[in-house]
Amino acid sequence: MTNILLVTSSPRGAESLSSRFANEIAEGLKARLSATVITRNLAVNPPPHIGRAYIDGRVAAAEARTPDQVEAVGLAQTMVDEVKAADIIVLGSGMINFGLPSPLKAWFDHITWPGVTFGYSEAGPHGLLTGKKVYLVTAAGGIFSQGEWAAFDFQTGYLRHLLGFIGLTDVEVIRVEGTVFGPEAAQAAIAATEAQLHAVLEKAA
């Protein structure tokens, strides 16, 4: 059985293109692979920003943790377990102020866990969550994949770095961008993403 973890993060709800296309990929893969899908909507249920309870609790012995530490570490462990159980991860991120949504950053802060999702060796840090496929859907109103604004895309490259740091290096990026330049441009951008999505699903079948 193939397990898919779908993580969405846009606060735009039904209007979110990153969530729309991430959902379409997950559902398309589910149908083609007879897979199960676990969904974590970070906009609806945002994780808290990490605090002392998590920072201290994750290095403390389980029996020595305070109630606050047990709760904080338990939440992180649940999210890590979801990633570990997944064969495929579909991640949706809509650009906010040139970067990723803060709930998605908080999710990464919880799952980027020394000794659990990455470790150290003489060669430096290495990711422990290997052997998984990631489909990364990024949305932006402007065009950031190329041209003069490419240098200001602090979303896509950063997400790829975070994923790679914990071992998720097999990443396929699906972009939807250029939707703020009028209705025709938006329709063209959506059509281009739909074509890319179709090609991705055909390749996965």
| Structure confidence at residue 203 (pLDDT) | 87
Reply yes or no on domain 3-204 having CATH 1.10.3720.10. no
Q: Tell me the residue ranges of DSSP E strands in the chain.
A: 3-8, 36-41, 88-94, 118-121, 124-127, 133-140, 170-177
What pLDDT is stored for residue 8 in this prediction?
Answer: 97
Q: Residues at the annotated binding site for FMN? A: 10, 16-18
- Supply the pTM of this predicted model: 0.94
Residue 205 has pLDDT above 80, yes or no: no
What pLDDT, on the 0 to 100 scale, is given for residue 178? Answer: 93
DSSP assignment of 90-141: EEEEE-BTTB--HHHHHHHHHH--BTTTEEEETTEEEES--S-EEEEEEEES
How many angstroms separate the CA atoms of 23 and 44, rounded? 15
- Is residue 107 packed enough to be buried (19+ CB in 10 Å), middle (13-18) or exposed (0-12)? buried
pLDDT, tens digit, for every residue of 129-162? 999 999 999 999 999 999 999 999 999 999 999 9
Percent of the chain at pLDDT exceeding 90 = 95
pLDDT for the residue numbered 175: 95
* Helices 183-204 and 17-33: angle between axes, nearest 10 degrees: 20
* Residue whose tokens read 């692979």: 33
- The pLDDT of residue 1: 84
Give tens-digit pLDDT for 22-45: 999 999 999 999 999 999 999 999
Taking only the tens place, the pLDDT of each residue in 44-76 is 999 999 999 999 999 999 999 999 999 999 999
pLDDT at 123: 87
Other Cβ atoms closer than 10 A to 186: 16
Q: Answer for the pair 10, 19: CB distance below 8 angstroms, yes or no.
A: yes
Domain boundaries, the chain: 3-204
Terminal CA-CA length for the chain: 15
Question: Confidence band (pLDDT; 50, 70, 90) for 14?
Answer: confident
Residue type, 4: I
**pLDDT-derived band at 86, boundaries 50, 70, 90:** very high
